[in-house]
Structures are given as C-alpha cells and as structure tokens.
Amino acid sequence: MAAEGGAGPPGGAEEEEDDLGYRLFPDRKKKPQSFLVRSLFTFHNRCQLMLRMSLETNPYAQLLLAAMKQSGCTVFNDRHFSCENCDGCVSGGFDSATSQIVLCQNNIRQQSHMNRVVAHELIHAFDHCRAHVDWFKNVKHLACSEIRAANLSGDCTLMNEIARFKFGLKAHHQTCVRDRAIRSILAVRKVSRETAEKAVDEVFDACFNDLEPFGRIPHNKTDAKRAYKDFLNRDRYNANL
C-alpha cells in the first residue's frame, strides 16, 4: 500500500505482507463490520461525509477525478474508496491489488486533512491508471509516485510545514517533498533508509517535474481551480498548440 501512503499487494505469507505495508491496515483482511457496529462504534459515517464533501467541492479532487475518467479509470465512491481503522499515524493508502483508496477514519479528523489525503491517494491511483507502476518490487517506481503525491497534493504547502514546526523558505518545498517521500517508502517497505534515499534521489528530478494532470504545482485552492479549468479546456489547448 502507499501510505498517505503506499501501495501493496494482497496475499502471500504474513512476512511478505509486512514488507508491503499491510500491517498498517489491519481491516483490509477482515470481514466488514455490521452496519450498526460500524455506525455506532467507529468514525465511519464521519469519514464518508468528509469524503463526499472532498470529492464534490475540493478542486484538487475534482481535477484528479476528471483526469482519471479521461484516462479510462472512472472512480466510484463505493467501489474505489474505503473508510477503515488503521494502525499508527498513517492517514490513508492506495491498495493497487484491489484498486482501492483506503482512508483511515480513526486518524482523519478534519476536512482539510481529508482533502489532502484524498488528493494524495488519488495521485497514486492516477499513476496506477496511466502507467505500469511496479509498486511492489521497484522502489524507484514507488518513490516516483510518492514524490509526485507529496508535490502536488498540498502536503508541502508552507502552512502545513509550519504546522509541523518545520521552518524553511528557499526551495523548502523540495526538501519537504523529498523527506515525505522517503518517510512514506520507509513506512510501507522494509528497506534501509539509504536505499529509500538513493531511490528518491535518482528519480527526483524527473518526478518532481512531472506535474500531470495539474500542469503546475498547486500551492493553494486558487491554483488548483485554475489547473482544473485548464484541464477542462485541454482540447482547445492541444488543438491550437
């Protein structure tokens, strides 16, 4: 899995699953709870409401949904999203084996956080849809998607970094993207820090500058709305280029 997150394949021995991040998402293998238990004793309903708000109003999500539909991967709320309890501090993940985005209902408490997690995971889903990403065996492939997700989802905006007590200005966005990509890889793969850093460094330039489908780094909702508008007008753009 990709944790706000990584992607992982299902099945295999427990040891293999632990290498691929499934230990963070224990509900993936369990049967779904009954409606009553889910409604009364979990944050499932809150998660579903926030998810819906995000998909309907957040320009990051709207652009990614439109781009995925254009690529042939229409996203359906009840098929491609799952609100579950997760371990640790992880906020979400993309399970490429089931083509599902997992949202950690016990760790996402605010709408702004949900917006960011949804955008982050939709970028992983978009990459899965448009390219042959070897999530499980190729750390560089995973690193590239994590770089793009940290870069384009709003994870590394100045305000988010300040809220994490990480202060910096000059090219700090790149530092944040690099650090968060390494952190995500280490969360879902049993590789050394050196391996993760090497993979990120090798693909950083190519993947940091791959801005699809946004066409720009969206630093705020205004940028995202502009990018969405440009995406909707792409036919004219390509025809007249």
Q: Among 13, 15, 31, 110, which residue interacts with another protein (rule: CB under 8 A)?
A: 31
Site string for another protein, 35-64 (x = CB under 8 A): ------------------------------
Give the range of 49-57, 86-94, 110-118, 139-147 binding another protein by CB under 8 A.
Answer: 139-147
Per the residue annotation, which of 4, 17, 84, 121 is the catalytic one? 121
For residue 32, cis peptide bond before it (omega within 30 degrees of 0): no
Q: Among 33, 42, 48, 71, which residue interacts with another protein (rule: CB under 8 A)?
A: 71
Identify whether 197 is a catalytic site residue. no
Q: Among 49, 89, 131, 162, which residue interacts with another protein (rule: CB under 8 A)?
A: 131
Q: Which residue reads 């949804």 in tokens?
A: 118
Asked whether the CA dihedral 9, 14, 15, 19 is positive or negative, the reply is positive
Closest distance of CB 53 from another protein, Å = 24
Token pair, residue 72, equals: 């042939």
Strands laid side by side in the 81-84 sheet:
2-3, 92-95, 100-104, 81-84
- Residue 23 to residues 78, 85, 86, 179, Cα–Cα distance (Å): 23, 12, 9, 22
Residue 30 burial by CB count (10 A; 0-12/13-18/19+): exposed, middle or buried?
exposed
Q: Which residue reads 């997690």 in tokens?
A: 117
Number of residues assigned to the chain: 241
Token pair, residue 177, equals: 């993207």
Q: 104: Cβ–Cβ under 8 A, 6 or more apart, which residues?
A: 84, 85, 86, 90, 91, 92, 117
**Closer CB to another protein, 99 or 111, in the complex:** 99
Q: Which residue reads 């409401």 in tokens?
A: 49
Closest distance of CB 50 from another protein, Å = 22
Site string for another protein, 198-227 (x = CB under 8 A): -----x-xxx-xxx-----x-x------x-
Closest distance of CB 89 from another protein, Å = 25
Q: Among 127, 146, 155, 197, which residue interacts with another protein (rule: CB under 8 A)?
A: 127
Interacting positions 143-202 with another protein (CB under 8 A): 144, 158, 169-174
**Closer CB to another protein, 57 or 233, in the complex:** 233
Token pair, residue 134, equals: 């070897």
Binding residues (CB under 8 A) for another protein: these are 10-11, 29, 31-32, 71-73, 79, 98-100, 127-133, 140-141, 144, 158, 169-174, 203, 205-207, 209-211, 217, 219, 226, 229-230, 233, 236-238, 240-241
- Tell me which residues are annotated as active site: 121
